[in-house]
Chains A and B, each alone.
Chain A
Amino acid sequence: SQQGEEDPQALSIQEGENATMNCSYKTSINNLQWYRQNSGRGLVHLILIRSNEREKHSGRLRVTLDTSKKSSSLLITASRAADTASYFCATVLFTGANSKLTFGKGITLSVRP
């Protein structure tokens, strides 16, 4: 079953603008990850944030995590047309040696040139 819920479901912005995507989840987690998926293809890992971290940066990406609110946000700064894709948050709760990902339904981001 899906754990995360992303918000908004779809986002359309102009190239150069910032894109903010939110994710809420329901249970305890060990870490939360964001993935990108280009049309009908495999997923690309973007960033991982551990449950004891509040903010992480990677290039034009900034992710925050608020475990008290069970929510995370992904900010993409200075967006480019190539950022057009679906973005998924996925949570991990370690069960033994299993680190399975529990995904949300995803956000469709369109960046207009």
Chain B
Amino acid sequence: DTGVSQDPRHKITKRGQNVTFRCDPISEHNRLYWYRQTLGQGPEFLTYFQNEAQLEKSRLLSDRFSAERPKGSFSTLEIQRTEQGDSAMYLCASSFGLAGVDTQYFGPGTRLTVL
């Protein structure tokens, strides 16, 4: 399968614990995006990488959130000291970065539940 993959698919944690999610983009894609989606809402942008450089972060991304993309391949999103409000679906997308036509391909998401 050459699509975007995310791991784990589901994560249940207790408030205050740290969690880390992984995203493996389509191999030739140089752009990688993280979004968060809560129930009944559309996804909201969190952060963006071009190769290994994190070029933009949303104000939604508090200090408890950190994302990395070492070597410009897979990416990780870590949430420290989780709160119940962090419960959501975390979606990763990648794209080739063609000017004017930057179609993003999404992974299946990681559903986080904070108890």
Inter-subunit contact B50/A48 (CB<8 Å): no
- Total interface residues on A, CB under 8 Å, equals 30
Which of A2, A99, A103 is close to B102, meaning CB atoms less than 8 Å apart?
A99
Q: What residue of chain B has the Cβ atom nearest to residue A104's Cβ?
A: B42
Q: What residue of chain B has the Cβ atom nearest to residue A106's Cβ?
A: B42
Q: Mark contacts of A76-113 with chain B using CB atoms, 8 A cut-off: 1 yes-contact digit, 0 otherwise.
A: 00000000000010101001111111111110000000
CA distance in complex: A100, B111 (Å): 21
Which of A30, A99, A106 is close to B31, meaning CB atoms less than 8 Å apart?
A99
Max chain B CB contacts within 10 Å: which of A2, A42, A45, A101? Answer: A42
Contacts of A100 in B (CB 8 A): 33, 45, 48, 56
Contacts of B26 in A (CB 8 A): none
Question: Shortest beta-carbon distance, A44 to chain B, in Å?
Answer: 7
Inter-subunit contact B91/A42 (CB<8 Å): yes
Inter-subunit contact A97/B43 (CB<8 Å): no
Question: Interface segment, B12-20, B62-70, B93-101?
Answer: B93-101
With known contacts A2-B42, A88-B42, A106-B42, A43–B91 Cβ distance under 8 A = yes
28 A-B residue pairs with CB within 8 Å: A30-B100, A40-B111, A42-B106, A42-B108, A43-B43, A43-B106, A44-B106, A88-B43, A90-B42, A92-B102, A95-B56, A97-B31, A97-B97, A99-B31, A99-B95, A99-B97, A100-B33, A100-B48, A101-B33, A101-B43, A101-B45, A101-B93, A101-B104, A103-B42, A103-B43, A103-B44, A104-B42, A105-B40
